[in-house]
Amino acid sequence: SQQGEEDPQALSIQEGENATMNCSYKTSINNLQWYRQNSGRGLVHLILIRSNEREKHSGRLRVTLDTSKKSSSLLITASRAADTASYFCATDAGTASKLTFGTGTRLQVTL
Amino acid sequence: SQTIHQWPATLVQPVGSPLSLECTVEGTSNPNLYWYRQAAGRGLQLLFYSVGIGQISSEVPQNLSASRPQDRQFILSSKKLLLSDSGFYLCAWSNGRSSYNEQFFGPGTRLTVL
């Protein structure tokens, strides 16, 4: 079953703009992770935020986590055409070494 | 450094034929291993995972099976493919000794069943 639901399903922005994607989940988690997938390729790990953290940065990425609302957001600042990809959140509930992936947000960055 | 390989990259098979997809990991020992399926434009569905040789957990009852004959080898199989088995199959590994379960994915196999 898919615990995470991303919002929006698709997002189209112009280069230089910021992109914000949201993820909601249902059960308690140990950590939440964001992954990126270029079309027809495998997923690449972007960033991990632990359940006791509220915000984390990595380069142009900023992730927030609100465990009371069971939600997370991924902000990509100053987007580039190369950021065009699908982005997935994944939750680790700490059971049996599994991740549960969301449905993904397809981001299109145009010149 | 660690690398993960999957083959073949693409596969077209007739309904009722057998299937064998292979995944191998290099540069680490005793990894957790995972098989996912992704339908077009959708998220990932966990099919099987393994925390050790010969240990397989199945997530979704279906026409597929998995085996782990060696520490860094994970195989996805079917005796008779169905049309609904078409999809993009991804193998992943994680460090079994880490508490954070960051996963590293292979390039995937696109399977089309006709």
Convert the pLDDT of each residue in A59-85 to its tens digit: 999 999 999 999 999 999 999 999 999
pLDDT band at A96 (very low <50, low <70, confident <90, very high): low
**pLDDT, tens digit, for every residue of A7-63?**
899 999 999 999 999 999 999 999 999 999 999 999 999 999 999 999 999 999 999
Q: What pLDDT band is residue A1 in, cutting at 50, 70 and 90? A: very low
Structure tokens at A23: 């993820």
Mutation target to probe the A interface, by most A beta carbons within 10 A, among B32, B44, B94 is: B44
Which residues of chain B lie closer than 8 angstroms to A33, CB-CB?
102-103
> Which pLDDT score is estimated for A17?
98
Instruction: State how far Cα B15 lies from the chain centre.
Output: 20
Residues of B with CB under 8 A from a CB of A: 32, 36, 41-46, 49, 51, 57, 59, 88, 90, 92, 94, 96, 99-108, 110
Chain A CB contacts of B90 under 8 Å are: 42-43
3-state secondary structure chain A: CCCCEEECCEEEEECCCCEEEEEECCCCCCEEEEEEECCCCCEEEEEEEECCCCEEEECCEEEEEECCCCEEEEEECCCCHHHCEEEEEEEECCCCCCCEECCCEEEEEEC
Q: How far apart are CA B9 and CA B102, in angstroms?
A: 24
DSSP string, B25-78: EES-SS-EEEEEEE-TTS-EEEEEEEEETTEEEESS-SS-EEEEEETTEEEEEE
Please identify every stretch of chain B with a pLDDT value under 70, giving residue numbers as ranges.
Answer: 61
